Chains A and B, each alone.
Chain A
Amino acid sequence: MAYLDHAATTPLRPEVVDAMLPFLTGGHGNPSGGHRVAQRAKVALEEARERIAAVLGCAPGEVVLTSGGTEADNLAVKGAARAARDAGIGDGVVVSAIEHKAVLASAERLRTEGFRVGYAPVGPDGIVDTDRLAGRLDEDTVLVSVMLVNNEVGAVQDLDAVAAVVREHAPRALLHTDAVQAAPWLDLRGAAAVAPLISVTGHKIGGPVGTGALVVRPPATVRPEIEGGGQERGLRGGTNDVAGAVGFATALELTAARRDAEGPRLAGLRDRLAAGLAALGGVERHGDPARTVPGIWNGRIGGVESEELLFLLDAAGVQAAAGASCSSGAAEASHVLSAMGVERGAALESVRLSLGHTTTDADVDEALGVIAAAVERLREARKPVRPAS
């Protein structure tokens, strides 16, 4: 077995499980309550929040705990845009063309509510073209969303450059960045310095699924999406998941503490993977390797449809993914690759291999062997013929 789908989700770190267990087996207090059991839960929750804030480079009061990255993106994009319009600031929203569907769907929702929504294009390297971004900004732009690291191709944006363009051309806009895929690889304190809204999640860094946060720093304000008992300073109702918060905090700390060692280790494994794949011939890697996180390889293997390759890989115990999946599990041509100028046929021959904290040398060896055999088989079987459409 070689699990090369860490960008989809990661195995829980054992230390995270250990940290969570006391709260799953005994810490049953509702942190909003008044008795001592509840107070213990409240203390644990706030300690976790402080640890999360320290890693993210913000104040504990700026951390809004959510159910994950998707909720954080929804709260950031819809919540900030609606709050800004309510305040009479403006009605323009600009997002990059390669955002996660959570951002794109939120932007589309805003469009149906009368917001002006623009899409900032990217180059073949997956990096936002700041000149063309500038052309989509104006005085009435209230929110700009650019993901720090793309989930499909791993492209790392120059957030400082984006922030500078936003400051100049849309002085009233808030910058949001989806840092879900950045968390394993980058020090997010840099992002916090320029983006007042930052989305993160636990399960991409060895933490539990169902945990995450939106950082909301001044001058940003958001209108809540989920209202209830006033939790999270009124920005996100619902009983807090103490075990989840503790697990998320632990995963963030471990990830940060090991980043300097893990980044180069996994970059080395990824480069070995890339070299082995290049040796297959007819392979085109997507994006600029110098501006890609260590954990992701995304490329086209010419003459091999990704659905067929993934079928053989799965049968041989190697888990990987096409760029994006719809809810039924069928492969779709990726909007990210399309935005990068990759034509549809090539996109349907593209796969993403993503490495993470459990990936070993042996995984890379196993995957390369399995992929080489599968590619040879499929190329030998035939040149795929797709009816013209």
Chain B
Amino acid sequence: MEAFLQQLFAGLATGGIYASLALALVMIYQATHQVNFAQGEMAMFSTFIAWTLIQAGLPYWVAFFATVAISFVIAAVIEFTIIRPLHKAPELSVVVVFIGLLVIFHSVAGFLFGSQIKQFPTPFEPTAWYGTSYLSPHQVGTIFVALCIVAALFAFFGFTTLGLKMRAAAQNPGSSRLLGVNVGRMLMLGWGLAGAIGAIAGMMVAPVVFLDPGMMTGVLIYAFAGALIGGIDNPVGAIVGGFLVGVLENLIGSYIVGTELKLSVALILIVGVLVVRPAGLMGRVVVQRV
């Protein structure tokens, strides 16, 4: 029973990271109906930026918020320069461009920062008061941060004018334009937020798996699975899906298939969800009539 609870809570901790990244994916999907394949690599790149800032001597939390701001800007710029011109292009072109971005971020990170594994500090002291026997302080911190992001976004989208405008721009760009919403700017904002959230996810996962350019590829697959299980167009679904995938990955990995095949579990989950219920648990079911 002990071991089971251990795995369960560990799953929740990694689930927090998947949930954050899944949230970033869902945000971009909601705004543009495109899946950002490069989200993982962008998050990894941001984490490297954070590492550089910390190496330069900045205290952790200063580097943290600076990285979030920088990632916001980078993501917004990418939307404006590369993604916006493609909004009418066929699907294959868009997917290919996303893959191109993935590859560029991956190799530039390797080029600028080197591909050696690096240690990334955690702001949550290993001996802090909120650690328990099941969860290390870092894991508690990860879950806490994920929940904070969710709460902040919920408040932003639900109670601010800007949030309302963003939701309008995503749901109905044409009508929103007629009502005076600058849809292009909302798209940039959406991408920027996704980039920022991705950066936070990266900084939460780096202390656990160590920082190197290949850090986020696996995490991205789990985040995809989480976003799909929860419903690719539902932010709350993304969170629920992310935590669920984290727990499932850990439990199935420990008790059924062994740790080497954990990623294959994610693949099976993805294919399974897409075949059985493409809308996910909480997404909107779209019925097409001919």
* Chain A complexes with chain B: no
* Contacts from B to A (Cβ < 8 Å): none
* Contacts from A to B (Cβ < 8 Å): none
